[in-house]
Structure 1
Amino acid sequence: MGYRLSKIYTRTGDAGETGLAGGRRVPKHHPRIEAIGSVDELNSQLGLLLAELHDARSAALDEVTRVLTPIQHRLFDLGGELAMPEYRALNDGEVERLEKAIDVWNEEVGPLENFILPGGSRLVAQTHVCRSLARNAERRCQQLNAEEPLEGCGLRYLNRLSDLLFVAARVIARRQGVKEVLWQAAEKP
């Protein structure tokens, strides 16, 4: 596979527009660019989570790493779909893969008895950062979908991904032996 970018800066975006893969130019605040950017931000934070999981060097967390690692590639695929509306990389099998992992991990952690907050450990908190960014990416993609209908399973993928990350945070806490941070209602005056 040859070089894809021979020059990093082009100066073509200095006036507030950017080019999509097909050559179409859109403002940098266009919903499509917002969607691409939110998926990229999620992917970057997921990369940080994976690096921290690797640094933890815990056999108990290896499965979490194995499940989450391919997601970075699928998010890159989704970014490609957003940049090239006619391109399809994601498929229903990827959504099903997330659902299977959710089901397995949900069995391990059991039912949720209270609202939980991000925290307990750095890994748990970072997983919740990724979860909230997955929700944001889904909202940005839904906003785009309202203007320019999206085809494919990207919206479902993002929805399941946020669910997976929520359950992953619970699994990480359990396997690290840390207590989940339970929400406490404010005292009534």
Structure 2
Amino acid sequence: MATDTSNFRTEANVFESDLAGITVRGKAHDLSAWFVVALRLMMGYAFLHAGWTKITAAEPFDAGGYLTNVTAASPLSGLFHWMGQTGWFVEFVNLAVPWGELLIGMALLVGVVTRLAAFFGAFMMLLFYFGNWEVQHGLVNGDLAYMLVFLAVAAFGAGRLVGLDAIIEKYETGGEKLVERYPKLRYLLG
């Protein structure tokens, strides 16, 4: 996928992308940046709260019951049942879910390593989508919608908007911007 950035300097709020021979071009409203920030903050708060309540709950978080009780209709039910019956994996999930939610939430709230956080948030929502499989009302549900919000946060570089990623990307080391010296950081920041 190639993205044409030549018009960014001459036209404000214009974006364009080619994918599989199809070009999409649009002009965003001036307030669009604030909506992207709002999405980042909303998802950050939601995940921070979800993780914090699991970590501080009176009873320790236990994903075993959830994993073993996924409906057989889910395309990944076999995988979920294996995960729920594999002791070391349940222990891993018992740590990964609450702490992952907390860390993703914190990263999004301050806008640091935003793309990395959004990727893992989208991955978790994809797993929740298949784990909470109910398609009586269609394939679209809240888990899928949240996954797409995470992907939008990553795609729009929401950490560069009122976030620490903007500061980190401008940081100079050895007379060169950090992201110019280490271009792969762009996959994590933004």
Question: TM-score per shorter chain, which class?
Answer: 0.3 to 0.5
